[in-house]
Amino acid sequence: MLQVYRNTVSSVSKPPTVLLLIAAGEDGEGWCKQFTQEGYNVVHVAYPPSRDDETTIERIFLQADKEIVNLGEDWALITYGLQSHDARALLVNMGLSWAYLKACVHFCPVAVTGKAFVMHDTAGKHIPTTFHLPASQETLHANLAEYCDSSTYDYHLHTSAPPPVSIYTYPLVPESPPFPLLTKAPAQIIPGDAPPITPHVRSATSLSLSRTLALLRRCIGPHFDLEAIWEKHGQYEFVDRDAHKTLSTMVDVPYVNHIATMTGGTGRQELLRFYKYHFTGINVTPPDTEMISVSRTVGSDRIVDEMIFKCTHTTEMDYFLPGVPPTGKKLEFPVVGIIAFRGDKMYFEHIYWDQACVLVQLGLVDPSKLPVTGVDAARKVLDPFGMPSNTLMARWNESEGQSLD
């Protein structure tokens, strides 16, 4: 009924704790291990309890309370399919550790009203809480909406503080079982073993994990300098040109997907091979390669990096232009990277760029016959007011002087 999983991120010396109320079995264990790799100690309560187990849920909560106190530090609660009466029992039986409860996350609670799930700290203020609901839980969503309005609180919420209660809804995912249990936790997926799930479940599971981590990082930590990890990864790729160092910044089972060409790799061995022979080598990436940062957004578990990639096409660039021999031409094009992290390591890279812009600059695509452009695309990213818009729209002049009312 109850099991403790220890934090596995060595850089976290005093890990906070997560109490996870999730089903027993492989899926529940997988999500427990996911959070240990995010920097948390996990106390797992198998929920709902087995019918054959004579231990009451109240007694299990008392045992969980003792484990949390022994582990020390602040803690958060994450539940999957929690019922209202058990939420109330939790409130009664978590007495010793309650002062250190800093955040709650509820997936698909079994309820029509949210009163039992919106909890308060010892000062009477709302404990920051995030709800992940299928779109079909309309009644619960409507009843929870009042808690999102800070003007109804009987205390002052500082303007720098985010709303303590957040609700996210996800279309076309089930209420039961809670949708994350329909797939493996990301930390448990290995190459060749990707579970067959619908796009909606995949989307909801990914988004809800990031939103959960956003709350946990803000309320109990731990903090990771994601930019520093990403910068070190880039240093190893483009300056040191060392495949093994590059992989040292990544989790045990990472992946890289260059979207336009589907180059990269899944898993450590394939990705090491890709980096060593098809990316970091001096004969792959041109020696004059330059990356100009345009913008960067840092979230709880990922970075979105917008850049301009510049080089002279003096090598066969397997990752951007596989099979295209060097042309000696200058290249300048926009690139966007979505970089995800697990704990203090990179999990994946999704790299997007304007391949038509690249092919135009190499003379491989005729821009006069297609709505594509060359180096101007990169220049407009860097200087949006200095470059004209709509130059590819033959009909743009037709609207000149027309009424805008």
C-beta separation of 300 from 213 below 8 A: yes
Q: Which helix (H) or strand (E) holds 253?
A: strand 250-258
Cβ neighbours around 56 below 10 Å, total = 12
CB atoms within 10 A of CB 224: 21
> What is the chain's Cα-based Rg?
25
CATH class as words, domain 226-382: alpha beta
Angstrom distance (rounded) from CA 39 to CA 15: 6
Asked if 43 and 19 count as a contact pair (C-beta separation under 8 A), the reply is yes
Tens of each residue's pLDDT in the chain, 405 residues = 899 999 999 999 999 999 999 999 888 999 999 999 999 999 999 999 876 666 788 889 999 999 999 998 899 999 999 999 999 888 888 777 888 999 999 999 999 998 999 998 888 899 999 999 999 999 999 999 988 888 888 888 888 888 899 999 999 999 999 999 999 999 999 888 867 889 999 999 999 999 999 999 999 999 999 999 999 999 999 999 999 999 999 999 999 999 999 999 999 999 999 999 999 987 899 999 999 999 999 999 999 999 999 999 999 999 999 999 999 999 999 999 999 999 999 999 999 999 999 999 999 999 999 999 999 999 999 999 999 999 999 999 999 999 999
Q: Where are the domains of the chain?
A: 2-220, 226-382
Max distance between CA atoms of the chain, in angstroms, equals 79
Asked if 2-220 and 226-382 have one fold, the answer is no
Block residue for tokens 């850089």: 11
Rounded (10°) angle between helices 84-93 and 57-71: 50
How many angstroms separate the CA atoms of 121 and 355, rounded?
Answer: 53
Q: What angle do CA 221, 165, 3 make, to 5 degrees?
A: 50
- For 84, residues 6+ apart whose C-beta sits below 8 A from its C-beta are 109, 110, 111, 113, 115, 116, 117
Phi first, then psi: give them for residue 218, nearest 5 degrees. -70, -35
CB atoms within 10 A of CB 105: 23
Residues 6+ away with beta carbon under 8 Å from 171: 134, 135, 200
Q: Is the domain 2-220 a CATH 3.40.50 member?
A: yes
Q: Is-contact 165 139, C-beta < 8 A?
A: no
